[in-house]
Amino acid sequence: MVVAFASAVAVGTVLLTLPVASESGEPTDLVTALFTATSAVCVTGLIVVDTPGHWSTFGELVILGLIQVGGLGIMTLASLLGLLITRRLGLRMRLTAQTETKALGLGDVRRVVVGVALVSFAFETVIAAVLVARFLTGYDYELGTALYHGVFHAVSAFNNAGFALYPDNLMSFVTDAWVCVPIAVAVIAGGLGFPVWIEVWRHARGSLRRWSLHVRLTVLTTAVLLVVGAVAITAAEWNNPDTLGRFGVGGRILAGLFHAVMPRTAGFNSLDLAEFEAGTLLVNDILMFIGGGSAGTAGGIKVTTFALLAFVIVAEVRAQPTVHLMGRKVPSTVQRQALAVVLLSVGTVVTATLTLLALTPFTLDEVLFESVSAFATVGLSTGITTELPPAGELVLTVLMFAGRIGPITFASALALRERTRRYELPEERPIIG
C-alpha cells in the first residue's frame, strides 16, 4: 500500500510539473507539485498555491483524478480493473484489497470492492446533479461551467478532499444552503466509511439490531461528535463579528453546522479560519484528530478508535476485567491496536509541530492546527500553508502521506522484517498512575 500510494504521488507530481498544468505555461517547481499531488492523493486539501489561479484546466483535472484515485484507494481501483478484465481476483490482489477496504474475510473482498465503487459513484452523481442545478439557476453559469464545477466539488466533497475552484474556497457560498448542505452531506457520507454503507444497504429492510458493532459504533459516535461540534463552534463564534457575528440567525446556524462537518476531514471552509477564537481552533483540533469512519475517505484516528478507548477507560474505572460494548465483548488485541494508533498519531503530530515551530515564526495555535489538519488529511488551514518554507512543506507532505495510509500501516512498512517472539519473560507489574 505504501508503494502504491507513493507511486500515485510520483505520477501526479510529474504531471503537475508539466508546463501545460499551469495557467502561466511555465513548469511548476518540484516541491509545490509534490505537495499538491500528495494533498490530492491523500485527499487532504491543503494548498500552497491558489488552485484556480495557478493550475490550468489540465492541472485541475489531474488533481481531480488524483482525488478520485486516493479516495477510492489504489488497491480498490486495481481490484476493480482486475474484475473487469478477468472477472476474478487472485489471492494476492484479494489480500491487498482486504487490507485497504477492511473486508473481514477473503470471501467478502469482491463484494466490498464492487460496493465501494457503486457507493462512491452514486453519491458523487447525486451531489453533482444538485450542485449543477444550483449553479445554473442561482448563479447563471453556462452549462459546461456548471457541469465542471458541480462534478469537481462533488468528487472533492465525497472524497473528503476539500479542493475548491474558488480563491476563497466556499466563502462566497457561506449562506447558500443549496451549495453548503449538499457538500456537507457528501462529506458525512464519505466520512462514514464504505463498510457502513454496504452493510446499511444489505440490511435496509431489516432491524437496526442486525447492524454490526462497527456500524452502530461509527454512526452513533459520528452523530454525537457532529452535534457536539456544531454546538461548540456555533456558540463560540456566535458574536464574533469576523465570523458568524455578521450574519442573521439562519446564516449563523448554517455556517456553524457546515464548519462542524468540515473537521470530519473534509477541508472546505465558508468562514475565514484565521479569525476563529482560540477555543474554536482547539475544538477543531480535537474533531480533526478524531476524524471519521474506518475504510472510508476520512482521516484521523477514526471514530471507532476514539469510542473504543473511551469504553476501555470506563471499564478500567469500574474495575471490570473485560470491555463490553453494545452487547459484545471487545478482544484485547483490538484494544491494543487502538492504543497503538492513538499513541503513534500523537507522537507524529507532536514531532511535526515541534519541527514546524523551529522552522517558522508562527504561534503554537497556528502550527498545531496545521499539523493536525495535515496528519488527519483534513485540509483546513488558518492561512499559513502558503507562507511555509520548503522544509515546512515537506514536513506537511510526510504528515499527509502517513495520515492517509494509516499510522499502523506506515509503521509496519518501515519495519524491514517481521519478528516472532519465541519466549516470554517473567511477569512483573509497574505502578500505573
**What was the pLDDT predicted at 22?**
95
The answer to the question of residue 420 being in a domain is no
Note the pLDDT tens digit of each residue in 107-142: 455 666 677 778 888 999 999 999 999 999 999 999
Q: How far apart (Å, rounded) are the C-alpha atoms in residues 114 and 99?
A: 15
Contacts of 265 (CB under 8 A, 6+ apart): 43, 160, 191, 288, 291, 292, 297, 298, 299, 300, 376, 377, 378, 379
∠ Cα 288 293 295 (to 5°) = 120
The answer to whether the Cα torsion of 259, 387, 357, 40 is positive or negative is positive
**What was the pLDDT predicted at 253?**
95
Mean pLDDT computed over every residue of the chain: 85
Quick one: what percent of the chain has pLDDT higher than 70? 85
220-234: average pLDDT: 94
Q: How far apart (Å, rounded) are the C-alpha atoms in residues 429 and 115?
A: 47
Q: Do 112 and 194 touch, CB atoms closer than 8 A?
A: yes
**What was the pLDDT predicted at 417?**
52
Q: Do 22 and 54 touch, CB atoms closer than 8 A?
A: yes
396-418: average pLDDT: 73
Structural domain boundaries enclosing 282: 2-414
The answer to the question of residue 422 being in a domain is no
Q: How far apart (Å, rounded) are the C-alpha atoms in residues 237 and 245?
A: 7
Q: Do 377 and 410 touch, CB atoms closer than 8 A?
A: no
The answer to the question of residue 432 being in a domain is no
Q: How far apart (Å, rounded) are the C-alpha atoms in residues 415 and 410?
A: 9
| Cα end-to-end distance, the chain, whole Å | 38
SS3 199: helix
C-alpha cell at 244: 458568524
**What was the pLDDT predicted at 205?**
65
Between 23-37, 158-172, 198-212, 230-244, the lowest mean confidence (pLDDT) is in 198-212
Mutual angle of helices 143-158 and 109-138, in 10-degree steps: 140
**What was the pLDDT predicted at 378?**
92
Q: For the whole model, what pTM was predicted?
A: 0.86
User: What DSSP assignment string belongs to 342-397?
Assistant: HHHHHHHHHHHHHHHHHH----HHHHHHHHHHHHTT----SS-GGG--HHHHHHHH
The answer to the question of residue 211 being in a domain is yes
371: phi then psi, degrees, rounded to nearest 5: -65, -45
DSSP 299: -
Nearest one of 189, 193, 202, 196 to 215, comparing CA atoms: 196
The answer to the question of residue 352 being in a domain is yes
The answer to the question of residue 421 being in a domain is no
Note the pLDDT tens digit of each residue in 280-336: 999 999 999 999 887 667 788 889 889 999 999 999 888 888 888 888 888 888 888
User: What DSSP assignment string belongs to 89-158?
Assistant: --HHHHHHHHHHHT-SSGGGHHHHHHHHHHHHHHHHHHHHHHHHHHHHHHS---HHHHHHHHHHHHHHHH
**What was the pLDDT predicted at 363?**
92
**What was the pLDDT predicted at 34?**
96
Quick one: what percent of the chain has pLDDT higher than 90? 56
**What was the pLDDT predicted at 106?**
46
**What was the pLDDT predicted at 198?**
74
Residue with cell 477555543: 279
The answer to the question of residue 282 being in a domain is yes
Q: How far apart (Å, rounded) are the C-alpha atoms in residues 284 and 94?
A: 37
Helix (H) or strand (E) holding 328: strand 328-330
Nearest one of 193, 199, 208 to 111, comparing CA atoms: 199
Q: Does 187 score more than 60 pLDDT?
A: yes
The answer to the question of residue 289 being in a domain is yes
Total domains in the fold of the chain: 1
The band of 226, judged by pLDDT with boundaries at 50, 70 and 90, is: very high
Dihedral angle computed from the Cα positions of residues 30, 5, 267 and 60, in that order, rounded to the nearest 10 degrees: 50
Tell which wins on pLDDT, 78 or 217. 217
Nearest one of 281, 282, 262, 279 to 270, comparing CA atoms: 262
191: phi then psi, degrees, rounded to nearest 5: -75, -20
424: phi then psi, degrees, rounded to nearest 5: -125, 140
Contacts of 269 (CB under 8 A, 6+ apart): 169, 170, 171, 259, 262, 380
Tell which wins on pLDDT, 318 or 410. 318
